[in-house]
Structure 1
């Protein structure tokens, strides 16, 4: 059944508002727990508690919150503009069909910014995961596709600005830019997911069981996030290629879905299920810190020789046939140094 343009946008406002509510809940929860746990962790490491506010995931969380919020506000604005403000609501179809309106261009730009910020965090995990086995060369392909996403996102906005009513968006330059964007973000997510999954599997096969849980947790975070974006990307790409108006629903919901995927990462890190590179440390520094801690402890509580006196009770029978308890005190013995 064909979906009309009006029906698609009415469905969009309802579903996007619901997803935005879920996104805000995840955002507030993750930021709160991230600050609380992050400050305690940094203090325990001897680092300034305020440095948590400079953590990449903390900064990107606010950027994505602004872009997703702006996208939702424009969706609501366009609803009122189409059905109330413009021509008394009699030309709603024209409003939604005109891609050259400023509100549509800015909304598309906010979507591209959300995708770029979210993909950037996934790409950033490639050369540093796992720590100690970095290879920056493997980050070049996803970096290229990420830059391609940004370039094509700018191209989409420029093409929308030059759009005129009557043009066929699926066949003109704008449609090609949109298709290229889908391909670039798809390649970025799939490449990073496969590479990180392989590295986690390799480190898990060589590590002790205690480290396996942490590795699997990090794997779940990255793979689940990339899976959400990849699946939604495919849904929109298919709908766009078959030229269905339902693609307007998919592309508008892409922004909150991408935000939700990222906030799930933040929430898991905030709850302590994985640090996910939030507190990068050098292993040599950690060993030195541990040695200094042991030295300090030994200085505060020096070891002293420990003398033990043992008293032994012996039951004997005296000449009269009665039991007599005698206590024999052994000489104090030095058992060496103890805490």
Structure 2
């Protein structure tokens, strides 16, 4: 079985690796989003930047902790005792950042689902309640860890709350990803020939949700089995959240946006966006793009470019 110091070093290595992937994806997504207007630039760009800042802070804390455990305090405390102290300020800060990262990303997921369902309060209110409850549980766990005594473990302090947090995080992602996919499919299904065009968009959504949910599931299983593999799984979760967020933007832009489809009436998209989109569509597609989330906006943009070339 892997020891705690070994697990911490492995976590640092894997987090650095995944952070490099996230950092690269962020700059690619930044180039794409800077060319957009409206909600894409006003919301997605700040969120992507915030996710990068959180992941950067998380990685820096892990580096500092590694230096203290294996270099500065190796003769006084020892790496095993250092990492076993759950109430250390750096450890608590790292856990708080871990709780913040999925909360921010899931907020965008709930918002996207709310928009696609015609801004229905039946979707928005329950989503916000579950999201806030999960965030409150996460920060309460951080506070509980701050009260931990030397030698205690997370399995002893708040096992039920930790399991609840992991489970809710995974269920929020699965539920809202499924609802988004179902809403898009249902709205476009009556349109002739729309299935083949819609499939790449759905694949992008489902892939992103599957990657995120799988990482949380691995973390939950490691915690339930009492394995130190929980620490690598937890530390890579921070950059993975950002990777999934940027990956959806990149996949839509390069896979969907660069595959122009024949011109067709824009009415099916107004089904997704509500009356507000219907008022704008008679004048221009561009205002409607500003009102929508990134997946549908890139599809509409590719259609407009295709029409100009013809």
- Asked if TM exceeds 0.5, the reply is yes
Cα pair 2:201 2:252 within 8 Å, conserved: no
Q: Which secondary structure state, in structure 1, belongs to the residue aligned with residue 189 of structure 2?
A: helix
Farther off after superposition, 18-27 or 178-187: 178-187
Partner of 2:5: 6
Within a 5 Å distance, the mapping from 1:18-33 to structure 2 comes to 18-33=17-32
* TM-score computed with the length of structure 2 as normaliser: 0.80
Partner of 2:247: 264
Partner of 1:126: 113
1:148 maps to which of 124, 133, 145? 133
Deviation at 1:288, TM superposition (A): 3.0
Q: Which secondary structure state, in structure 2, belongs to the residue aligned with residue 240 of structure 1?
A: helix
C-alpha distance in structure 2 between counterparts of 1:282 and 1:13, whole Å:
46
Structure 1: give runs of 5+ residues left out of the alignment: 43-50, 291-339
Q: Does 1:178 align with 2:162?
A: yes
* TM-score computed with the length of structure 1 as normaliser: 0.73
Farther off after superposition, 102-111 or 216-225: 216-225
Deviations 1:27-69 (A, max 9, x none): 0111012213x1xxx4xxxxxxxx5785211110011010011
Cα pair 1:100 1:164 within 8 Å, conserved: yes
Q: Does 1:282 align with 2:277?
A: yes
Cα pair 1:148 1:181 within 8 Å, conserved: no
Larger relative CO (CA 8 A, sep 6+): 1 or 2? 2
Partner of 2:297: none
Q: Which secondary structure state, in structure 2, belongs to the residue aligned with residue 127 of structure 1?
A: helix
1:95 maps to which of 82, 86, 96? 82
Distance 1:186 1:206, change over 3 A: same
Q: Which secondary structure state, in structure 1, belongs to the residue aligned with residue 51 of structure 2?
A: helix
Partner of 2:188: 204
Structure 2: give runs of 5+ residues left out of the alignment: 258-268, 286-310
Higher strand share: 1
1:187 maps to which of 149, 152, 171? 171
Bigger radius of gyration: 1
C-alpha distance in structure 1 between counterparts of 2:51 and 2:90, whole Å:
19
C-alpha distance in structure 1 between counterparts of 2:75 and 2:153, whole Å:
27
Deviations 1:75-111 (A, max 9, x none): 1111111011124476111111111111111111111
| Number of corresponding residues | 271
Q: Which secondary structure state, in structure 1, belongs to the residue aligned with residue 205 of structure 2?
A: helix
Q: Which secondary structure state, in structure 1, belongs to the residue aligned with residue 283 of structure 2?
A: helix
Farther off after superposition, 193-202 or 231-240: 193-202
C-alpha distance in structure 1 between counterparts of 2:201 and 2:246, whole Å:
15
1:239 maps to which of 198, 203, 222? 222
Distance 1:58 1:214, change over 3 A: farther
Cα pair 1:129 1:196 within 8 Å, conserved: yes
C-alpha distance in structure 1 between counterparts of 2:121 and 2:200, whole Å:
23
C-alpha distance in structure 2 between counterparts of 1:196 and 1:52, whole Å:
18
Cα pair 2:29 2:246 within 8 Å, conserved: yes
Partner of 1:248: 231
C-alpha distance in structure 2 between counterparts of 1:205 and 1:53, whole Å:
26
CA RMSD between the two structures: 2.5
Deviations 1:189-244 (A, max 9, x none): 121122122212212321232x5456434323322222111111111111101111
